[in-house]
């Protein structure tokens, strides 16, 4: 059985009780977890595994091809069948979720107003980097983007998620925001994340509950990465 990904039902759960289903070296696979396994430019969560009274650091998390989510531990611990509690580093997750949610606003405005497509992102806790295929980018556009993104953030709109059947999803190409054409499908369904009154797009990541949590957005630097490829460094305060 694949690991149940609790963050797809509840982006905001920071701990969960689970059972170890497999062990290898310094890692355990669990039947369920609230740890995000990484993807879409967002790093995996870190945190702790509580086992027999010990609080063991989880240094990273990775999904294997069979759908198990492996929690990489500081020291070996646990056996199959053991009950554990997992706890994510909530400050770190919250920072990543703020940047990740801002990214939805940025990619929507970039596509809507400038026909620019995201080609990659690296979401961090202190700043993030976003790559675009962006014809005709000029430095003045960075200031325009700041204004437009902050105006949307100021609406404090609510974020929600739902699942669509693959066939229905395939008929709604506007849900895709990257030039990577692989459809994000899980057990015949794709997850869609909406910002009330603003946008909906396919996404398997973790988000804030409403845009008021994001903070103030700024573009700190831009770089040319080829003729039509631009890299934006962004910061939230
Ligand atoms: Zn997302």
Give the pLDDT confidence of 204-233 residue by residue, as tens digits. 899 999 999 999 999 999 999 988 999 999
What is the structure's pLDDT at 156?
A: 98
What is the structure's pLDDT at 174?
A: 83
Q: Are residues 221 and 115 in the same domain?
A: yes
What is the structure's pLDDT at 236?
A: 98
Q: How close is the Cα of 109 to the center of ligand 1, in Å?
A: 15
Q: How close is the Cα of 54 to the center of ligand 1, in Å?
A: 33
CA-based diameter of the chain, in Å? 59
Q: What is the pLDDT of residues 164-209, one digit of tens each?
A: 998 888 888 888 877 665 666 778 888 999 999 999 999 989 999 9
What is the structure's pLDDT at 64?
A: 94
Q: Are residues 175 and 64 in the same domain?
A: no
The DSSP annotation for 110-169 comes to: HHHHH--EEEEEEE-SS-EEEEEE-TT--HHHHHHHHHHHHHHHTTTPBEEEEEEEHHHH
Q: How close is the Cα of 99 to the center of ligand 1, in Å?
A: 10
Structural domain harbouring 38:
4-88
Q: Are residues 84 and 97 in the same domain?
A: no
Q: Are residues 114 and 9 in the same domain?
A: no
Q: Are residues 106 and 188 in the same domain?
A: yes
- List CB-based neighbours of ion ligand 1 within 5 Å: 193, 203, 205
What is the structure's pLDDT at 139?
A: 87
Of 88, 123, 157, at which residue does a domain stop?
88
Q: How close is the Cα of 100 to the center of ligand 1, in Å?
A: 6
Q: Are residues 108 and 150 in the same domain?
A: yes
Question: Is 41:120 a contact under the CB 8 Å cutoff?
Answer: yes
Q: Are residues 137 and 168 in the same domain?
A: yes
Q: How close is the Cα of 123 to the center of ligand 1, in Å?
A: 11
Q: Are residues 83 and 107 in the same domain?
A: no
Pairing of strands 83-88, 15-24: antiparallel
Q: How close is the Cα of 207 to the center of ligand 1, in Å?
A: 6
Q: Measuring CA to CA, which residue among 205, 216, 93 is closest to residue 156?
A: 216
Q: For residue 144, give the CATH number of its domain.
A: 3.30.980.10
Q: How close is the Cα of 79 to the center of ligand 1, in Å?
A: 34
Q: Which residue, chain included where needed, has tokens 């325009």?
A: 144
pTM: 0.92
Between the CA of residue 221 and those of 64, 128, 139, 197, what are the distances in Å? 36, 11, 9, 30
């Amino acid at each position: 059985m694949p690991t149940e990904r609790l963050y797809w039902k509840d982006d905001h759960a920071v701990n969960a009780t689970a059972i170890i289903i497999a062990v290898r070296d310094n890692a355990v696979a669990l039947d369920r977890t609230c740890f995000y396994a990484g993807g879409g430019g967002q790093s995996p969560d870190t945190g702790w595994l509580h086992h027999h009274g010990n609080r063991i650091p989880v240094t990273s998390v990775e999904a294997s091809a069979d759908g198990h989510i492996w929690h990489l531990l500081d020291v070996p611990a646990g056996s199959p069948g053991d009950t554990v509690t997992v706890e994510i580093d909530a400050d770190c997750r919250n920072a990543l979720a703020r940047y990740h949610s801002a990214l939805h606003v940025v990619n929507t405005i970039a596509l809507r107003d400038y026909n620019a497509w995201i080609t990659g992102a690296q979401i961090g806790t202190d700043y993030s980097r976003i790559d675009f295929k962006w014809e005709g980018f000029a430095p003045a556009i960075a200031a325009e983007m700041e204004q437009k993104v902050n105006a949307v953030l100021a609406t404090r709109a609510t974020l929600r998620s739902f699942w669509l059947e693959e066939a229905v999803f395939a008929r709604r190409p506007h849900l895709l925001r990257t030039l990577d054409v692989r459809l994000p499908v899980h057990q015949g369904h794709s997850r869609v994340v909406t910002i009330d009154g603003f946008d909906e797009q396919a996404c398997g990541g973790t988000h804030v509950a409403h845009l008021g949590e994001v903070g103030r957005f700024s573009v700190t630097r831009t770089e040319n990465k080829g003729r039509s490829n631009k890299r934006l460094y962004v910061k939230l305060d």
